[in-house]
Structure 1
Amino acid sequence: MSTLLPIRAHHLSSSPRIIKRSLISTTPAVLFRSRPCFLPSPLGLEAPRLLHRNGVLARAEDKARGGPSSSSSTQPPRTPPNSDKRLQDLEPSSGVCDPLCSVDETSSLDFEVNYQPKTDLLKALAVFAAAATGTVAINHSWVAANQDVAMTLLFGIGYAGIIFEESLAFNKSGVGLLMAVSLWVIRSIGAPSTEIAVSELSHASAEVSEIVFFLLGAMTIVEIVDAHQGFKLVTDNITTRKPRTLLWVVGFVTFFLSSILDNLTSTIVMVSLLRKLVPPSEFRKLLGAVVVIAANAGGAWTPIGDVTTTMLWIHGQISTLQTMKKRVDSEVDGKGQNTASVLASEQMAPRGQLVFAVGIGALVFVPVFKALTGLPPYMGMLLGLGVLWILTDAIHYGESERQQLKVPQALSRIDTQGALFFLGILLSVSSLEAAGILRELANYLDANIPNVELIASAIGLVSAIVDNVPLVAATMGMYDLTSFPQDSEFWQLVAYCAGTGGSMLVIGSAAGVAFMGMEKVDFFWYIRKVSGFAFAGYAAGIAAYLAVHNLHISLPTTLAQVPFLSGS
């Protein structure tokens, strides 16, 4: 599960309009107009102060651009129509600050009124006290004597902090990093020697870094393509208005788009398209639910479509061809009313088609690179990123106004905190594996649940509630390739169940959370309208896969195996 921060569009009546890019996840950046940050004040924000502040900002921006200053004008500032209403809209009621604002954009009066040094000092002391308590507890002799119990308790506490991230107001990336470091400290204390713990940590870091580098490269490529409006090549070709046809087209396009891009990006692109094609209605919400299910299913179809399949692919549990050939995914049908709408057209950035072709080609080439060279997949991803980097530098050479289309700007917009969350979780799980805790858990499950299909199915059900990344990471630590070889039924089911199980709840996947935020979908609406169909599709997919596997039905993988092409 991931948390998607809402985006609000604020319009300034008297300040220039500045187009900025959002800092959300790995999603296509959503354009919005920025506003100065107004801190709440018990004295209230009156219209004259707002007009004065906006005028100051406007003059500062004119001065930065070298244009005429508005202060030098002899004409008084104009007040646009309905200015009172706009000023009321600008006044913050919740006190939430725009993520891109800074203190120097606010008046000193607002800052002084809201600044509470005693409260901040108490919070800082509480954090330091908690850190000191944790340090003393870790160095206690009981921890060294009971390493497994201590690590299990700490992992449980940290994982609870990740699950209840919103309630505790602590970012899960920070919790994950603290948990990882603490677990490895306990491991170094309880290990036979520090050298053994360091060797285990070095091995774990090498494996985890492959996944992190792969994700960073993929996110940057997707962001560059989106900055050039490359995905409009796909979405602009969907013009049908027939409900049933639109449902199938949206489902198939989302499925195949998600097999190359990440699920979150695919969902944002397709839901944005639906908002242009279909007016607000129950039918549009149902189409959005289809997008969520198709995005999660498509991500499980290829090794590069989802973080969990990427993890399994990089560590050798699954291969590219067998994953795509054996995966069975569910589809959801629905009904709606015919609607007529005009698809709004946005201007594609120059060279968008070229960047789209090179970017998608770089993503698709990664499995080919691994097969040709035998090098880890992240090397192929870095190769594609390097080519796209040089390409964008070349085609935008001398174009100072298009810096936002280059890689350095794209790197500032990708979901870095998400990558750090993966780093913390994977290092935490690797510490449990090094301590032998996951192996003991695997032995317990084998003794009490001998059916591996039930274990894989349970992983999918649990992934609807908790994040599927640590679930898959723990499963990989519990069972090695000697227990289940590459492309075995167990690993294929784990990839399918972990990828699609999150569709059963709207909060079960990043795609669902994005859909919920964009369409204002209620949690219980999703349960009533979608969860039953998603569960039925999930169960049908497992049954279909087991049937195909047990009946030894094989799909042709070469032209020679196709009867009417081979002449047999």
Structure 2
Amino acid sequence: MTPALPMIAGIPVDFILFALTLAGVAIFHHHTLGVAVTGLVVITSYKLLFTDFAGVPGAGGLVAHLQHEWVTVANLFGLLLGFALLSKHFEDSRVPAILPRFLPDDWKGGFVMLILVFVLSSFLDNIAAAMIGGTMAMALYKGRVHVGFLAAIVAASNAGGAGSVVGDTTTTMMWIAGVPPLQVLDAYVAAVPALILFSILAARQQHAFQPIARDAPVGVTVEWTRLAIVATILLSAISANIYFNLRQPEVLDHVPVIGLAVWAAILVTTPLRKPDWSLLPHATGGSIFLLSLVLCASMMPVQHLPAASWQSALGLGFVSAVFDNIPLTALALHQGGYDWGFLAYAVGFGGSMIWFGSSAGVALSNMYPQARSVVDWLKAGWHVALAYVLGFAIMLFTLGWHPDALHKAKTQPVAAAAAPNALESR
């Protein structure tokens, strides 16, 4: 029998240690890598000495846990590094430089750009959509991007994937578990009004901080080879995702398919245009930071979450801002009793409320280090939390809560197959 978890004031010590790690990230945001790695070491040591890993104590439990998580970690690592090179290819294609020719000159230009990120994320990985959005913003605003607008880019990328079974890891997990794609599509009833609200507010913030470039530089043309490389990398990730989900989902438990597909495309296209390899050291540091937090979150006793209801689904959105949404989604699928459209919106969009709450946010912070402040993110990106609540309320009053208990036999392999988009999330 598994012993009771050590608790302080009714809270498992695991959660307290993770909360302290996140607080350290918030306070010492110039030393986030060191704080995250230290937190991982402390949490791992605590579980080795005083508790267990999903019921298995000691080193054996740790090994079993890492065997379960390594595919997700490897996929995310491959995507973060790969998309850092992809975003540079996109920048060098000069598409961002010519965007001012097609976007409105005032705050509505930023609004339209966020809509584009949303649309891209509905069929691309949300990390790629956020990185592309960040690259476009860098060119449109001459490098001066407001933290509130950065929060909106992340929110747009996460909202766009919330209603698509190929747009986010959590929705793909639901698809694997047997949730029909049309049920997941319901999430757009909340995501679209949320998008409109935060996009208008964030675009106005950005326009007051740094107006959009009114004219593209004279003589700039698209570098089509670079753009073709970007398309090749993205299509490789999407194709691998769809193929293995439909034909060989069991492979996803053992091989980081999506990360490998991205890097295969990068290497194959290298003779056409050489990637900027100098970006990798910086991207590696940011990736290790994210992976440390992901591993910390994966060791949390998520079985202590409340029973399924629309209130708990709403709460999971806030929880996903600080906890990895993959184990949260896996637990919800195992429990059953959720309205899956609500869950897809909550865990998909909720992570946008804090910069490290989703992989899209962490990836974008590699490009914009000023985003690595929880205080600044919450202060400048307050509209994301407001939009989350508004979207949830609209969905609740228009569609109503319709829980659907899945057969547990379908949900057993879900956690093992949860790597197709490399997270999410976050």
Q: TM-score by structure 2 length?
A: 0.67
Alignment of 1:162-561 (within 5 A): 162-165=22-25, 167=27, 170-187=34-51, 198=60, 201=62, 203-229=64-90, 232=93, 235=96, 236-239=98-101, 240-243=103-106, 245-259=108-122, 260=124, 261-262=126-127, 264-276=130-142, 290-302=152-164, 305=167, 312=173, 316=177, 322-324=183-185, 326-328=187-189, 329=191, 330=194, 331-332=196-197, 333-334=200-201, 341-344=214-217, 351-369=225-243, 370-377=245-252, 379-385=256-262, 387-395=264-272, 402=274, 404-405=275-276, 410=280, 413-414=283-284, 415-429=286-300, 432=301, 438-439=302-303, 441-442=304-305, 445-446=306-307, 452-463=309-320, 467-469=322-324, 472-473=325-326, 475-476=328-329, 478-481=331-334, 483-484=335-336, 488-489=338-339, 491-504=340-353, 511=361, 514=365, 527=379, 531=382, 533-547=383-397, 549-550=399-400
- The higher radius of gyration belongs to 1
For the residues of structure 2 that align with 1:522 and 1:193, how far apart are their CA atoms? 34
Q: Letter of the 2:291 partner, please give it.
A: L
**What is the RMSD computed on CA atoms of the aligned residues?**
4.6
1:214/1:302 CA distance change after superposition, 3 Å = farther
Deviations along 1:245-278, one digit per CA (max 9) or x if unpaired, are: 424421211212344241652452232133149x
**One-letter code of the match for 2:392?**
I
Determine which structure has greater relative contact order: mean sequence separation of CA pairs < 8 Å that are 6+ residues apart, divided by chain length. 2
How many angstroms does 1:453 deviate by?
Answer: 0.9
Counterparts in 2 of 1:504 and 1:368: CA distance versus 1, 3 Å: closer
Contact 2:163 2:184 in 1 (8 A): yes
Call closer, same or farther: CA 1:476–1:205 in 2, change over 3 Å. Answer: farther
Question: Given that residues 26 and 374 in structure 2 are in contact (C-alpha distance below 8 angstroms), is that contact kept between their aligned partners in structure 1?
Answer: no
Secondary structure of residue in 2 paired with 1:164: helix
Equivalent in the alignment of 1:104 = none
Aligned residues: 370
2:121 touches 2:157 (CA, 8 Å); kept in 1? yes
CA distance in 2, matches of 1:543, 1:424: 32
| Cα distance, 1:160 vs structure 2 | 1.0
Cα 1:190–1:238 change in 2 (3 A) is closer
Task: Tell me the alpha carbon deviations over residues 315-336 of structure 1, each in whole angstroms, 9 at most, x when there is no partner.
Answer: 7486766434543311223556
Cα distance 1:427–1:290, how it changes in 2: closer, same or farther (>3 A)?
closer
Identity over the aligned pairs, expressed in percent?
Answer: 16
Amino acid at match of 1:372: R
Structure-2 residue corresponding to 1:122: none
SS at match of 1:342: coil
Structure 2 gap segments, 5+ residues each: 403-426
Per-residue CA deviations over 1:425-473 (Å, capped at 9, x if unaligned) read: 24422xx3xxxxx44x24xx33xxxx61111212223455xx241xx35
Shift of 1:360: 1.3
Structure number having the greater helix percentage: 2
1:153 aligns with 2:28: no
DSSP-derived class of the 1:171 partner = helix
User: Structure 2 vs 1, CA of residues 456 and 147 (structure 1 numbering), >3 Å: closer, same or farther?
Assistant: closer
Contact 1:173 1:421 in 2 (8 A): yes
Counterparts in 2 of 1:388 and 1:299: CA distance versus 1, 3 Å: same
- 1:197-226 deviation digits (Å, cap 9, x = unpaired): 83x555533431221122123224323323
Q: Note the alpha carbon deviations across 1:503-550, whole angstroms, 9 max, x for none.
A: 5567866649849855999957974x762x434422232133335544
CA shift in 2, pair 1:548/1:347, >3 Å? same
Q: 1:223 to 1:184 in 2, by over 3 A?
A: same
> When the two structures are superposed, what TM-score results if normalisation uses the length of structure 1?
0.52
Q: Which amino acid aligns with 2:289?
A: G
Partner SS for 2:12 = helix
Residue aligning to 1:121:
none
Query: Unpaired segments of 5 or more residues in structure 1?
Result: 1-143, 397-401, 433-437, 553-568
Q: Distance in 1 between matches of 2:357 and 2:56?
A: 40
Alpha carbons of 1:326 and 1:424: their partners in 2 closer, same or farther (altered >3 Å)? closer
CA gap of 1:520–1:272, structure 2 versus 1, over 3 A, is farther
